[in-house]
Amino acid sequence: MPKIRTFGISSLIPASCIEEDLVTLFHSLPKLRKVVFPRFYFTTRIAEALSVCEDLEVVEFQYNEEQGRGDVNDVANFAPTLQAGAFPVLWDHSMTVSFANAVGFFDTAYSPANITTLYIDSPEIDSPDDLKYLLSALADNCQLLKNLTLISSRDPMAETSDVELTESFAITLDTIKPAFRLPVLTLMELLHQYPVSLSLGDLETLAKQWPSIETLILSNEPVHLIASPLTFDALLPFARHCPRLTHLGLFIDATNENHSLNPYLPTYSPSQIPTLPSLQILSMGVSIAKDDHKAALALSQVLVAGCKVECGITWDERFEVSAEISETVQKRCAVWVDVAGMLPVLVKLRMEERERTRLLEKELEVLRGRTGAIRDLATINDGGDGLVCVVL
Question: What domains sit in the chain, N to C, each tagged with a CATH number?
Answer: 1-147 (3.80.10), 179-348 (3.80.10)
What's the CA gap between 121 and 314, in Å, rounded?
A: 12
Predicted confidence at residue 152, as pLDDT, reads: 96
Predicted confidence at residue 361, as pLDDT, reads: 66
pLDDT in tens, 343-379: 999 999 887 776 666 666 676 777 777 777 677 666 6
Per-residue burial over 363-378, b if 16 or more Cβ lie within 10 Å, else e, is: eeeeeeeeeeeeeeee
Q: What share of the chain is helix, strand, coil (3-state, %, to 5)?
A: 40, 15, 50
Which stretches of the chain score pLDDT less than 50? none
In contact, 217 and 239? CB cutoff 8 Å: no
Q: What are the helix and strand counts (H, E) for the chain?
A: 10, 11
310 contacts: CB under 8 Å, gap ≥ 6:
281, 282, 283, 284, 336, 340
What's the CA gap between 229 and 61, in Å, rounded?
A: 35
pLDDT in tens, 71-123: 999 999 999 999 999 999 999 999 999 999 999 999 988 999 999 999 999 99
CB count in 10 Å sphere of residue 317: 10
- What is the enclosing helix (H) or strand (E) of 204? helix 200-209
Predicted confidence at residue 371, as pLDDT, reads: 76
Q: Which strands, in side-by-side order, build the sheet including 117-121?
A: 6-8, 34-37, 58-61, 92-95, 117-121, 147-151, 187-191, 215-218, 247-249, 281-283, 308-310
Closest CA to 44 of 131, 115, 85, 102: 102
Closest CA to 311 of 294, 295, 334: 334
φ and ψ at 19, to 5 degrees?
-60, -45
Instruction: Give the CA radius of gyration of the chain.
Output: 27
- What is the enclosing helix (H) or strand (E) of 308? strand 308-310
In contact, 239 and 302? CB cutoff 8 Å: yes
In contact, 58 and 87? CB cutoff 8 Å: no
Specify the pTM.
Answer: 0.89
| CB-count burial class (<10 Å; 0-12, 13-18, 19+) for 201 | exposed
Predicted confidence at residue 386, as pLDDT, reads: 57
